[in-house]
Amino acid sequence: MSEIKILIVEDEQKVARFIKLGLEDHDYHVDVAFDGKIGLLFFQQTDYDLILLDVNIPEINGFDLCKRIRTVNQKIPILILTALGLTDHIVEGFESGADDYLVKPFEFRELLVRIKALLKRTLNQDQGTKLLTADDLILDRDAKTVKRGNKQIELTAKEFLLLEYLLLNKGKVISRVDIAEKIWEINFDTGTNVIDVYVSFLRKKIDYGFESKLIHTVVGMGYTIREE
Amino acid sequence: MSEIKILIVEDEQKVARFIKLGLEDHDYHVDVAFDGKIGLLFFQQTDYDLILLDVNIPEINGFDLCKRIRTVNQKIPILILTALGLTDHIVEGFESGADDYLVKPFEFRELLVRIKALLKRTLNQDQGTKLLTADDLILDRDAKTVKRGNKQIELTAKEFLLLEYLLLNKGKVISRVDIAEKIWEINFDTGTNVIDVYVSFLRKKIDYGFESKLIHTVVGMGYTIREE
DNA sequence: ATTCAATTTTCATCTCATTTTAATCTCCCC
DNA sequence: GGGGAGATTAAAATGAGATGAAAATTGAAT
Distance B153 CA to C14 C1' (A): 29
Question: Under 8 Å CB-to-CB from B119, ≥6 apart: which residues?
Answer: B4, B49, B50, B77
Q: What is the pLDDT of residues B114-124, one digit of tens each?
A: 999 999 887 76
Distance CA B20, CA B28 (A): 9
Best to test chain B binding among A26, A103, A118, A173 (most B CBs inside 10 Å)? A173
Question: In the prediction, which pLDDT does B74 show?
Answer: 87
Q: What average pLDDT score do residues B112-138 get? A: 83
CB distance A110–B95 less than 8 Å? no
Report which of residues B97 and B120 the model is more confident about. Answer: B97
Q: What is the pLDDT of residues A123-169, one digit of tens each?
A: 766 555 688 999 999 999 999 999 999 999 999 999 999 999 999 99
Distance CA B185, CA B188 (A): 9
Quick one: A100 exposed, middle or buried, by C-beta within 10 A (0-12, 13-18, 19+)? buried
Closest residue of chain A to B108, computed from CA coordinates: A87
Beta strand segments in A34-185, E: 50-53, 78-82, 100-103, 131-134, 137-140, 145-148, 151-153
Q: Which residue type, as a one-letter code, is found at position B215?
A: I
Report which of residues B44 and B130 the model is more confident about. Answer: B44
Distance CA A217, CA A224 (A): 7
CA distance from start to end of chain B: 20
Handedness of CA B75, B81, B82, B83 (dihedral sign): positive
User: Has residue A1 got a pLDDT over 50?
Assistant: no
User: What angle, rounded to 10 degrees, do the helices at A36-45 and A62-72 form?
Assistant: 20
Q: What is the pLDDT of residues A48-68, one digit of tens each?
A: 999 999 999 999 999 999 999
Q: How far is CA B143 from CA A1, A171, A207, A222, in A?
A: 29, 6, 20, 11
Question: In the prediction, which pLDDT does B125 show?
Answer: 58
For A78, other C-beta atoms within 10 Å of its C-beta total 26
| Nearest-by-Cβ selection for B90 from A91, A113, A173 | A113
Full-model pTM: 0.71
**Chain B residues inside the 8 Å CB shell of A113:** 90-91, 94-95
User: Has residue A183 got a pLDDT over 80?
Assistant: yes
Distance CA B49, CA B28 (A): 10
